[in-house]
Structure 1
Amino acid sequence: MRVAAGMIFAGAVSLLASSAAWSQALPTKGAAAAPQAAPAAAPAPAPPPAPVSTRPPCNNPNALGIGRTVEIDTTGGPGFGFEHFKELDFLRDKEVVLTFDDGPWPVNTPAVLKTLAEECTTGIFFPIGKHATYYPEILKQVAAAGHSIGSHTWSHAALVNKKLTEQQRKDEIEKGFSAVKWALGKAPAPFFRFPALQHPPEMVTYLGTRNIAIFSCDLDSFDFKASKAQNIVDNVMRKVEKNGKGIILMHDFQKHTAEALPELLKKLKAGGYKVVAMRAKAPIQTIAQYDEDIVKDLKLPTVSSRPVSSVVQTISE
């Protein structure tokens, strides 16, 4: 069940004109002391920084494109998405925001990126921290293509789980951001989405103190339930036509989502919808202790710590 947030922090959204253009929750660490200076960790093979985004000119005259770009001041932890937050209604009629959870993941995330590039448009990606450490090179592709990147916890733990202490919930949030930072080689946007959109009021409050924007959605594609790609297209279009606009929740982790995206974007274009890009005014300030924990936890890979798909991939048949 989704839990409505108990507190919502005000935030400012300044609009800028643009050119036309998931994993089951793993055991978390016990309660940690307040962040403090720690002994220097041994050097770890951190991936090189993501290249600077160089979005190429759009060569598709019929592309969906980007209608406008907005800059988000995340001070106080503003919330977006009518499913839980109704104060900051900044989208105009026929405007949508494309969002993707649970990546990065082989095949599916690159396929999503390819479609977005072909349509000269953009989205917000909410990667799982553990997945970011599995596939940093894929997450860097997301950044290089100019998409906004936030976080979706370290292990996709349900933060409403009463078995988790408050500190363990904070660990999931902070370690997730630090893992994404490690994978990218630079800090991501202070954009966060709760797993299953379950918002514990205490964590909403915590994110406010950390100046992290919270993303719910206006319409859920339910792509994780879809038996085929066409179900996703039909579901999203039915909801967006009813609402007239909205933040769309999808998952680049899901195969059917990658398959559905080309047709979905064409239908959005045909329906007169325009994509809004959301950029953060400033990157997140991660906590040094969690940055160091990520480095210390990165050990030589074993079959017990990596999924088979990250070790063995079919390249031809």
Structure 2
Amino acid sequence: MKNDQRMPGRRALLRLAAGLGTAGALRVIAADPAGTPVRSPAPERAGAAGPSSALREAHSSYRLAPMTAGASPHFRPAAPPVRTRPFERLPELGRAMVLTFDDGPDPRYTPSILATLREHDVRAMFFVCGETADEYRDLVREIAADGHTVGNHSWTHPLVTRLSLAGVRDELGRTSEVIEKATGTSPVWYRAPYGAWDRNSFEIGADLGMEPMAWSVDTLDWTEPGAGTIVRRVRDGAAPGAVVLSHDAGGDRSQSVSALRRYLPELLDHGYRIMVPRRR
């Protein structure tokens, strides 16, 4: 399985994606058991908040209750206007961060990641590839049963900017169908492979009922830099509304598993909430 950073020229693709324009605001509700809705403004350029070495404040850790409400009907169109940029940060979630895992599920690594999230009673987002999700539907069901968000990451992980309209619809549509068959709910979030977005993917994603989610903290775990380096990148990028990109498939993800066990309790101990966004 390819990874989001492995394609040559990825930085150029990300610059292209970031220059596609500014989207109108989307109402995003945090899955907060306190019941306080939080609105997100239009997304900012990835990394705009800059690295933070903080993790200084020590507050009581937040534990997120499972999301059990708000299931969407089959392919309900996303609320207009159609995005022209993906969400990269969610700063108005307060002192909260979003953890995301791409390319799975993988029976070698996904269960360990789920176990760590379960141990700390937090929820994350898993952007699954359709061909893998179809093979491991039980794992997709387990992800959803634990209260995590299952997002669409295309069927075969192609560069969608090189696909026809029909090709983009097939990649996203087939994956949404597999997710719905496995979980009973069609996905409401999707992520373009390699972070490469174009008008077709935004419009077709919206037509299939999904909003685009990118990231602001890239762990580059696919390069296998060592668990310590992954931990440092998360720690340095920690900030209100940060969206962290990691992987639970597509190669040897043992370092990603080990790093999560280290940085997750650290984030919680320093007062960060781990949340998943939810479209209203």
TM-score interval (norm. to shorter): 0.7 to 0.9
Distance 1:141 1:231, change over 3 A: same
**Matches of residues 133-212 of structure 1 in structure 2 within 5 Å?**
133-161=134-162, 164-182=163-181, 184-212=182-210
1:90 counterpart (89, 92, 117): 92
**Matches of residues 226-265 of structure 1 in structure 2 within 5 Å?**
226-240=224-238, 243-253=239-249, 254-265=253-264
Q: Aligned to 1:4, what secondary structure does the other structure show?
A: helix
Alpha-carbon offset, residue 159 of structure 1 = 0.5
What amino acid maps onto 1:261 in structure 2?
A: L
Identify the residue that residue 17 of structure 2 maps to in structure 1.
4
With 72-81 and 132-141 compared, the bigger mean Cα shift is at 72-81
Do 1:67 and 1:275's aligned partners in 2 also have CA atoms closer than 8 Å? Answer: no
Distance 1:105 1:81, change over 3 A: same
Identity, % of aligned positions: 24
CA distance in 2, matches of 1:15, 1:135: 28
**Matches of residues 57-96 of structure 1 in structure 2 within 5 Å?**
65-66=63-64, 74-76=78-80, 77=82, 79-82=86-89, 89-92=91-94, 94-96=95-97
Do 2:230 and 2:259's aligned partners in 1 also have CA atoms closer than 8 Å? Answer: yes
Q: Which has the higher contact order (CA 8 A, sep 6+)?
A: 2
Do 1:126 and 1:150's aligned partners in 2 also have CA atoms closer than 8 Å? Answer: yes
**Matches of residues 10-89 of structure 1 in structure 2 within 5 Å?**
10-15=25-30, 17-19=32-34, 65-66=63-64, 74-76=78-80, 77=82, 79-82=86-89, 89=91
Identify the residue that residue 4 of structure 2 maps to in structure 1.
none
RMSD between aligned alpha carbons?
Answer: 2.8
Structure 1 residues without counterparts, runs of 5 or longer:
21-61, 83-87, 282-317
Select the structure of larger CA radius of gyration: 1
What amino acid maps onto 1:191 in structure 2?
A: W
Q: Aligned to 2:276, what secondary structure does the other structure show?
A: strand
What amino acid maps onto 1:147 in structure 2?
A: H
Q: Tell me the TM-score normalised to structure 2 length.
A: 0.73
Number of positions where the alignment pairs a residue of Structure 1 with one of Structure 2: 229
Q: Tell me the TM-score normalised to structure 1 length.
A: 0.65
Alpha-carbon offset, residue 89 of structure 1 = 4.2
Alpha-carbon offset, residue 68 of structure 1 = 11
Alpha-carbon offset, residue 64 of structure 1 = 5.5
Alpha-carbon offset, residue 135 of structure 1 = 0.7
Q: Detail structure 1 runs of 4+ shifted over 4 Å in the superposition.
A: 67-74
Identify the residue that residue 269 of structure 1 maps to in structure 2.
268
Alpha-carbon offset, residue 144 of structure 1 = 1.2
Distance 1:9 1:178, change over 3 A: farther
